[in-house]
Amino acid sequence: MPPTAPPCATFHRRPAESMTPRAPRLEYHTDATTALSDEVLAIVRLSTPVCASPSDVLTVDVGLEPVQGAVPAAVWRASGPVTRGRSGMIRYAHDAGFLFGVIEAHEVAYGDIRRTARTVYGAIDEFQRASGFPHLIRMWNFLDALNDGAGDFERYRQFCVGRAEGFGESVRNGYPAATAIGRQRSSGVLQVFWIAAKAPGRAIENPRQVSAYRYPRVHGPVSPGFSRATILQDGTLLISGTASIVGHVSKHPNDARAQLAETLRNLDALTCHAREHGAIPSEQAECLLTVYVRRPVDLALISTDAREAFPSAQLMFVGADICRRELLVEIECVVQAQR
Ligand code: 3EB
């Protein structure tokens, strides 16, 4: 057992190099009364807005289903003054070390999800190369009707094809951590947002899982381009959407509770592995989770079990579709230094 954190853990965890820009910090907000200063990179509202955001702050509205009353807004707080701008299809905000970007594309304008993804990822790649924040560390993808279509023509699989076609230089040195999730209400929009950095992060894989970029052909014509997590230089750990997949196989079809337990084992294996590569010990960390739940009927048991597994974490639950039809739950997580 590692020793417990000293009371002055925050002091000990200051970056050794004062030149290293501090990573953005994630906060969950359920009301608008919390002061949202200028120093916010972006606000992500996964569901119906419960948190008003100042009009000048970069805000993303995703359009997922609320499942437990108010769904908190995710606020990515910057570590200094923020510059905001627009470049073609892309809205962005950055501080000294990190950039948050957003792109939203209507599928009708490009014909289908594959072409839309190719266009969006091509635009991101081009923007990234010129932006001064060349390292993609975390990406989120939201699209409609994720599991519609048969076999290789399932929309998620076609999205993976287009993503791979559009991605160029930006992923040459490793894939970012990612989430890909389906909206249950249609919007016609492929929405991608991401965090990029001046300094590289470290991509890590899960010892219990085949790397997604090495999934065998049975899961689609092109393997999904993402890593299981990224570790930032200050030890912050950004964990990709994680589900009940062991090796490359989905486990416990039709059993949400068993899928959750398997997902928790995956998260545990990943965080243990990440610690060996510089991620901050969980005793000194604050953990924020987003739990995507496909069926409202599963919510009660999933939220009970998840809260029991993470008694001191902040959890947010939202209704959404997941990349494989048989999967009923997916969890993403940020592990960052305590204040
Ligand atoms: C999985 O492990 C579940 O295509 O970007 C999770 C996170 C999943 C990201 C993506 C897909 C993606 O394969 C699905």
54 in helix, strand or coil? coil
- CB 192 near ligand 1, within 6 Å: no
- CB 260 near ligand 1, within 6 Å: no
- Asked whether 168 and 203 are in contact (CB, 8 A), the reply is no
**What was the pLDDT predicted at 68?**
78
The number of the ligand 1 atom at minimal distance from the alpha carbon of 228 is 7
Nearest protein CA to atom 6 of ligand 1, as residue: 241
165 in helix, strand or coil? helix
- CB 179 near ligand 1, within 6 Å: yes
pLDDT digits (tens, 9 = 90+) for 241-280: 999 999 999 999 999 999 999 999 999 999 999 999 999 9
pLDDT digits (tens, 9 = 90+) for 37-55: 679 999 999 997 666 677 7
Distance, CA of 212 to chain centre? 15
pLDDT digits (tens, 9 = 90+) for 178-194: 999 999 999 999 999 99
Burial class from Cβ neighbours inside 10 Å (0-12, 13-18, 19+) for residue 118 reads: buried
Nearest Cα residue to 143 out of 182, 109, 111: 182
Among this protein's residues, is 283 annotated catalytic? no
Mean pLDDT (the chain, rounded): 91
pLDDT digits (tens, 9 = 90+) for 102-112: 999 999 999 99
Place of tokens 């949400």: 256
Domains of the chain: 11-337 (3.30.1330.40)
**What was the pLDDT predicted at 36?**
65
**What was the pLDDT predicted at 51?**
65
Nearest Cα residue to 92 out of 141, 128, 120: 128
- What per-residue string of b and e applies to 295-330 under the rule 16 or more CB within 10 Å gives b? eeebbeebbebbeebbeebebbbbbbbbbbebbbbb
**What was the pLDDT predicted at 274?**
97
Whether residue 33 is predicted with pLDDT greater than 80 in this model: the reply is no
Catalytic residue among 27, 65, 330, 332: 330
**What was the pLDDT predicted at 9?**
31
- CB 162 near ligand 1, within 6 Å: no
The Å distance, Cα 163 to ligand 1 centre, comes to 13
